[in-house]
Amino acid sequence: MKYDAVIAGAGFAGMYMLYRLRELGFSAIVLEAADGVGGTWYWNRYPGARCDVQSMDYSYSFSEELQQEWVWSEKYATQPEILRYANHVADRFDLRRDIRFERRIASAAYDENNASWRVATECGETYEAQFYIVATGCLSMPKEIDIPGVERFKGKRYHSANWPHEGVDFSGLRVGVIGTGSSAIQSIPLIAAQAAELTVFQRTAAFSMPAFNRPLQGEEITARKANYAEFRERSRYSLFGVPDLAMDKSALEVSAEERNATYEAAWQGGTLIALLESYNDIMTSTAANETAAEFVRQKIRSIVKDPKTAETLCPTTFPIGTKRPCLDTGYYETFNAEHVTLVDVRHTPLEEVTERGVRTSATEYEFDAIVFATGFDAMTGAIVSVDITGRGGVTLKERWQHGPATYLGLMVAEFPNLFTITGPGSPSVMSNMMVSIEQHVDWIAECMRTLRERGATTIEARPEAEQAWVAHVNEVADATLFPQANSWYMGVNVPGKPRVFLPYIGGVGPYRMKCDEVAGNAYEGFAITTEAGLSAAAG
């Protein structure tokens, strides 16, 4: 059977894409590797996993009934609650009948003669569709563990992004955790609460702020729901996909007292962006940034009792915000416990995993279990893990060998009718993903509707439009401090990956307006073809 669209992935992007296409009368099928919906929330079941965008923001806005009826229990929802929500959405909108589970896509090839995609699964099935829509998520492909000897370890080995569904009991065990990014920072306090001994291997200290998570109160839920639509609209035209805070001053034009009072209020608010949005130059001026960074370092020093451990936990090698900041519940406090040890692997590098544990340049540590919270091949890893072939047999992997090139993060030249939801070059991970997912899905659905109306068969990014967009993405990033960090935003966490700023930092609102303008100008920068050949409609 031939579909209008094959959608890869049944996370929040794939589910909404299916919903919208059905609404427009398109036939679509979703192929999903897991045996359930939820994407990242299906896989990342490590202890303490929760979203660090507030639950009433991190949810779909497309259905007024859904957003009015669903009741989030906490300021920051846990992974099980978010997965329940994803399942509720799948049932409520009867999505499962068009999702094929346990189908990992192996390849997708564009057939120029039929202007269609042939998508093959690892289990040997083939699906044909006019459009191939990639909804595989930005942080879904765990990066290969680049520490020698991992297979040798005789104890239990876990990865935060592929956690056993039945959970893990660390009671009485000697546990090692490798990594101190968001996943580790959320899980470490809970693992420490069970383990007999916990050793944390830190390569780069992270900036983390307290989440001050709490149950949501009835009145605040009612108040938000009374004008949810207006609130969502503000998020859509914001910088990060949540309503902007007023940022009308430089951090350097106010007194130290005023600055510290502002930072303290932001800290107490328990959100990811309040501190970074306190002033308008924190992400562009090294001096301004340093005031915020030092504020957090002082907090770390005030929480962690052992001065040496506190200093090791203080990030000093990158500006605050240029690596994804973390939200925690009791992370720094955990290092005050007698049975918790921090190992600075910059000082004593991790050499190998052994049969009994982990060896650094200084000593061998013995463990019953090791948790790898070592992160992802972000933004491009999941996309190119499928062997995607475009016009003339070109592979996407080859096209992106020096870094991903897209037009608007939505399409790639030479890959007609291939859409990437929250692809590289779009705000994606620099935003509340729900807002960016909905924006991309709506844009793609409207584009497909327009093509159908015009009798068009293909749409493809023009190379010159793609080049101009890539240049713009870099130009905007280069005006900030982001390129200074060795972050996964820059691809640097994966050995051999080109150093390129992957998302678009120009802001969710301006980006949305650009996408709408392009569509309004007859899909400027895209080539659109009909059966009869190239259309003059696209600029």
Residues that bind ligand N01 (CB under 6 A): 50-52, 139, 146-147, 160, 178-184, 186, 203-204, 324, 345, 350, 373-376, 429, 488, 493
- Which amino acid makes up residue 414? E
Residue placing its CB nearer to ligand N01 in the complex, 33 or 343: 343
Closest distance between ligand N01 and the C-beta of residue 146, in Å? 5
Closest distance between ligand N01 and the C-beta of residue 183, in Å? 3
Closest distance between ligand N01 and the C-beta of residue 49, in Å? 6
DSSP class of residue 244? P
Closest distance between ligand N01 and the C-beta of residue 38, in Å? 14
CB atoms within 10 A of CB 499: 10
Closest distance between ligand N01 and the C-beta of residue 150, in Å? 10
Q: Look up residue 115 and give its two tokens.
A: 């202007």
- Which amino acid makes up residue 30? V
Residue placing its CB nearer to ligand N01 in the complex, 54 or 417: 54
Residue placing its CB nearer to ligand N01 in the complex, 180 or 271: 180
DSSP class of residue 150? G
CA neighbours within 13 Å on the CB side: how many for 253?
9
Cα–Cα distance between 185 and 373 in angstroms, integer?
Answer: 9
- Which amino acid makes up residue 340? V
Residue placing its CB nearer to ligand N01 in the complex, 238 or 535: 238
3-state percent helix, strand, coil for the chain, nearest multiple of 5: 35, 20, 45
Closest distance between ligand N01 and the C-beta of residue 201, in Å? 6
Residue placing its CB nearer to ligand N01 in the complex, 181 or 425: 181
Residue placing its CB nearer to ligand N01 in the complex, 176 or 416: 176
The residues near 500 (Cβ < 8 Å, ≥ 6 apart) are: 402, 403, 404, 474, 490, 491
Residue placing its CB nearer to ligand N01 in the complex, 145 or 247: 145
Residue placing its CB nearer to ligand N01 in the complex, 312 or 374: 374
What is the DSSP track for 58-75? Answer: SS--S-HHHHHH----BS
Residue for token pair 């307290």: 210
Nearest to 368 by CA among 156, 100, 81, 145: 156
Closest distance between ligand N01 and the C-beta of residue 357, in Å? 15
Cα–Cα distance between 231 and 52 in angstroms, integer?
Answer: 19
Closest distance between ligand N01 and the C-beta of residue 463, in Å? 31
Cα–Cα distance between 434 and 55 in angstroms, integer?
Answer: 11
Residue placing its CB nearer to ligand N01 in the complex, 282 or 429: 429
User: Using CB atoms, what's the residue nearest to ligand N01?
Assistant: 181
DSSP class of residue 165? T
Closest distance between ligand N01 and the C-beta of residue 124, in Å? 32
Cα–Cα distance between 501 and 314 in angstroms, integer?
Answer: 25
Residue for token pair 């839920």: 221
